[in-house]
């Protein structure tokens, strides 16, 4: 956590995590609700959308906006697997390893991605573009095998389709 | 091919979402208008009770009966919460419904809230359903603008405000009390019951938690009546239609609205297009990852709560995952148990420590390193975990293990005797 002795520096860091208008919007919601804590997931999701992950400073900022202690934010943040408390690549890839995807080639998808990206599950490519994460069911059971990249869902995956998607994202990152 | 009257999928067109204008064109919000103008809340509860509607989230409890326990006379606030966590592998029906026609859920929420005299509602939406969340955001805005949400709805004096909550993953949030903690912004471990949510639920206030499909059925029941709804089912004890999500080793893995009570074999052949690769049917999970397997001897069974309970399985969410005759059921069960072990919230010992132990045993046997003692230990674990966990997660995890040990014990023994996986 941040050194409490350097209070103004801390405020400056935190302010960079969200735009002023985002912070103000949350402060208005906090003022209106009887239970500010109910906004914690919304707030963490917004911090993550803007920064790619939720840092210690992000947790502190959320706590400050909601008027709760950092530990009350942290115990929530660390519970959910789609809140990243460590930096991830620009494109976090969640590969479904639950039963329906498994039954239709999910393991091959996971192996192929690990080979193509030269990383293991849980790792990030050295260029900082991709992180591979196993995930439970994504609700795409009828379109197995499936994965999510960021918030976008991809179903009926084949190895060729997978290569095409990765290539497309590499191109997108260049532009 | 599908001659079933379509209620929930009435407006469904592949790749499209129906919003306010088109929803109203096909009779949308007529049930709400009728109810607010001509029916008392108690009358709605009675109709829902008479319709035989049973909870579509998996437990299958009578919706009308559940509502009749709700303290509608208690002071406000009282909450109606819709559970769209839908994270049990094999289950994707609510996602399909909200991808196609989100206003059904909004109309159902207002109707249900009116019946319960609840003034605030939440729809809890899983992380992976980002499109569905955006569909609902638009639908809520449209319904508000049209006066179907907010203060004094249609001049009836009834107020209802509706919030949307986008979650951030984890299966345990589908457990209703964990979901309530999640909505409150607390660490979402399940709560001890009693007190039940109807007594002390969200923010300590009376709360009812219902599944998406359950609530989306309410407008149709109000429009068509209890008798009509009940008669939609194929079996005498059943009621209504059901969204069946097909997955696994089938030629066609789609979601269909079909009568409750349709035989398993008909579902697989006529809608699933039969088992893929010209292989044979070996087994299926009839209603999600926690429901014990059915096998070829069950192909004539009526898919509904009571008939499936009689053969030691569950109707669950009617997400049917099929396995062909090349499948190793031990390996499939290991996959299912790994899911439950990873998704355990870690609160209680049988779940946190028991499920990884079961996984370890299954993995050992699958690798051909298992012994007869391991099989015994597996059986012991199943007995010791069942009924001893804090919430239903570990209980559900025992479903596939029970199915494996009851129906495929010989397969497990083969692994041990051959010293390798026979598949």
Mean pLDDT, range A130-159, rounded to an integer: 97
Say yes or no for a CB contact (<8 Å) between B128 and A153.
Answer: yes
- Most A CBs within 10 Å: which of B76, B83, B85, B89, as the mutation test of the A interface? B89
Q: Å from A75 to nearest chain B CA? A: 6
Residue A40 contacts B where some CB pair is shorter than 8 Å: yes
Q: Which residues numbered 142-181 in B keep a CB inside 8 Å of some CB on A?
A: 165-171
Residues of chain A neighbouring B323 (CB-CB closer than 8 A): 103
pLDDT in tens, B255-297: 999 999 999 999 999 999 999 999 999 999 999 999 999 999 9
Which structure tokens are listed for B201? 């639920």
pLDDT in tens, B308-338: 999 999 999 999 999 999 999 999 999 999 9
| CB-CB neighbours of B78 under 10 Å | 23
Residues of chain A neighbouring B247 (CB-CB closer than 8 A): 100, 103, 141-142, 144
Domains of chain B with CATH codes: 20-230 (3.40.50.11540), 233-324 (3.10.20.600), 329-418 (1.20.1440.230)
User: Is A91 or A5 the better-scoring residue by pLDDT?
Assistant: A91
Residue-level length of chain B: 423
Say yes or no for a CB contact (<8 Å) between A99 and B248.
Answer: yes
What contacts B19, CB < 8 A, 6 or more positions away?
Answer: B102, B103, B138, B139, B142
- The answer on pLDDT for B18 being more than 80 is yes
ipTM: 0.95
- The answer on pLDDT for A2 being more than 50 is no
Residues of chain B neighbouring A79 (CB-CB closer than 8 A): 170, 187-188, 345
Say yes or no for a CB contact (<8 Å) between A102 and B182.
Answer: no
Residue A53 contacts B where some CB pair is shorter than 8 Å: no
- The answer on pLDDT for A1 being more than 50 is no
Options 1.10.10.60, 3.40.30.10, 3.30.1330.20, 2.102.10.10; CATH of A91-174? 3.40.30.10
Average pLDDT over chain A reads 94
Say yes or no for a CB contact (<8 Å) between A139 and B183.
Answer: no
Question: How many CB contacts within 8 angstroms connect chain A with chain B?
Answer: 135
Task: State the pLDDT at residue A16.
Answer: 87
- The answer on pLDDT for B227 being more than 50 is yes
What is the residue extent of each domain of chain A?
7-77, 91-174
Label residue B135 by pLDDT band (50, 70, 90): very high
Q: Are B408 and B358 in contact (CB under 8 A)?
A: no
Distance CA B116, CA B109 (A): 10
Mean pLDDT, range B377-395, rounded to an integer: 97
Residue B282 contacts A where some CB pair is shorter than 8 Å: no
Q: Is CATH 1.10.10 correct for A7-77?
A: yes
Least Cα distance to A95 among A128, A138, A143, A125 occurs for: A138
Say yes or no for a CB contact (<8 Å) between A100 and B248.
Answer: yes
Mean pLDDT, range B337-363, rounded to an integer: 98
- Most B CBs within 10 Å: which of A37, A63, A105, A142, as the mutation test of the B interface? A142
Residues of chain A neighbouring B336 (CB-CB closer than 8 A): 99
Sign, CA dihedral B112-B113-B114-B117, equals positive
Q: Å from B5 to nearest chain A CA? A: 22
* Angle made by CA atoms A105, B335, A146, in degrees to the nearest 5: 35
Task: State the pLDDT at residue A15.
Answer: 74
- The answer on pLDDT for A10 being more than 70 is no
Pairing of strands B207-211, A147-149: unpaired
pLDDT in tens, B161-185: 999 999 999 999 999 999 999 999 9
Residues of chain B neighbouring A144 (CB-CB closer than 8 A): 247, 253
Report the percentage of chain A scoring pLDDT > 90.
90
- Most B CBs within 10 Å: which of A26, A48, A141, as the mutation test of the B interface? A141
């Amino acid at each position: 956590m941040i050194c409490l002795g350097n209070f103004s520096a801390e405020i400056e860091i935190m302010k960079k995590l969200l735009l002023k208008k985002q912070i103000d919007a949350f402060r208005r919601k906090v003022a209106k609700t009887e239970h500010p804590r109910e906004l914690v997931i919304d707030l963490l999701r917004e911090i993550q959308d803007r920064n790619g992950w939720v840092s210690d400073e992000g947790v502190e900022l959320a706590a400050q906006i909601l008027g709760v202690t950092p530990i009350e934010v942290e115990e929530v943040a660390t519970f959910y697997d789609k809140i990243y408390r460590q930096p991830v690549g620009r494109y976090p890839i969640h590969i479904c390893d639950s039963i329906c995807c498994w039954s239709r080639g999910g393991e091959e998808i996971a192996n192929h991605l690990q080979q193509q990206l030269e990383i293991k599950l849980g790792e990030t490519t050295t260029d900082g573009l991709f992180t591979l994460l196993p995930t439970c069911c994504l609700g795409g059971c009828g379109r197995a095998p499936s994965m999510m990249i960021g918030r976008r869902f991809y179903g009926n995956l084949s190895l060729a389709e997978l290569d095409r998607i990765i290539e497309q994202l590499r191109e997108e990152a260049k532009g | 091919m599908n001659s079933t009257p379509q209620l929930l999928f009435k407006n469904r067109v592949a790749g499209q979402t129906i919003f306010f204008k088109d929803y109203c064109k096909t009779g949308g919000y007529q049930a709400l208008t009728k109810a607010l103008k001509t029916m008392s809340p108690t009358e709605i509860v009675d109709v829902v009770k008479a319709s035989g509607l049973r909870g579509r989230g998996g437990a299958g409890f009578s919706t009308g009966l559940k509502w009749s326990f709700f303290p509608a006379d208690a002071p406000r606030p009282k909450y109606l919460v819709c559970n769209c966590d839908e994270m049990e592998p094999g289950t994707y029906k609510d996602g399909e419904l909200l991808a196609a026609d989100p206003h059904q859920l909004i109309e159902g929420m207002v109707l249900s809230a009116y019946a319960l005299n609840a003034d605030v509602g939440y729809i809890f939406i899983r992380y992976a359903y980002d499109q569905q969340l955006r569909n609902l955001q638009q639908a809520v805005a449209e319904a508000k603008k049209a006066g179907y949400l907010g203060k004094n709805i249609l001049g009836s004096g009834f107020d209802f405000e509706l919030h949307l909550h986008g979650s951030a993953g984890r299966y345990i949030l589908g457990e209703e009390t964990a979901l309530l903690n999640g909505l409150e912004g607390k660490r979402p471990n399940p709560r001890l019951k009693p007190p039940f949510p109807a007594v002390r639920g969200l923010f300590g206030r009376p709360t009812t938690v219902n599944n998406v499909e359950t609530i989306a059925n309410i407008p149709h029941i109000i429009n068509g009546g209890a008798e009509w709804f009940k008669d939609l089912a194929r079996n005498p004890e059943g009621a209504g239609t059901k969204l069946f999500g097909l997955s696994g080793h089938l030629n066609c893995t789609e979601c269909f609205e079909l009568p409750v009570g349709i035989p398993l074999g008909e579902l697989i052949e006529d809608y699933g297009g039969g088992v893929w690769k010209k292989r044979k049917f070996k087994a299926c999970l009839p209603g999600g990852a926690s429901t014990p397997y059915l096998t070829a001897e069950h192909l004539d069974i009526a898919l509904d709560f009571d008939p499936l309970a009689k053969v030691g399985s569950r109707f669950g969410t009617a997400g049917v995952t099929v396995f062909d005759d090349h499948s190793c059921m031990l390996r499939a069960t290991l996959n299912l148990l790994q899911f439950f072990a990873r998704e355990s919230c870690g609160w209680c010992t049988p779940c946190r420590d028991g499920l990884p132990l079961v996984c370890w045993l299954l993995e050992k046997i699958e690798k051909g390193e298992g012994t007869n003692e391991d099989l015994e230990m597996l059986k012991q674990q199943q007995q010791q975990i069942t009924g001893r966990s804090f919430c239903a997660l570990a209980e559900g995890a025992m479903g596939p293990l029970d199915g494996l040990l009851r129906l495929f014990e010989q397969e497990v023994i083969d692994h041990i005797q051959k010293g390798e996986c026979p598949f």
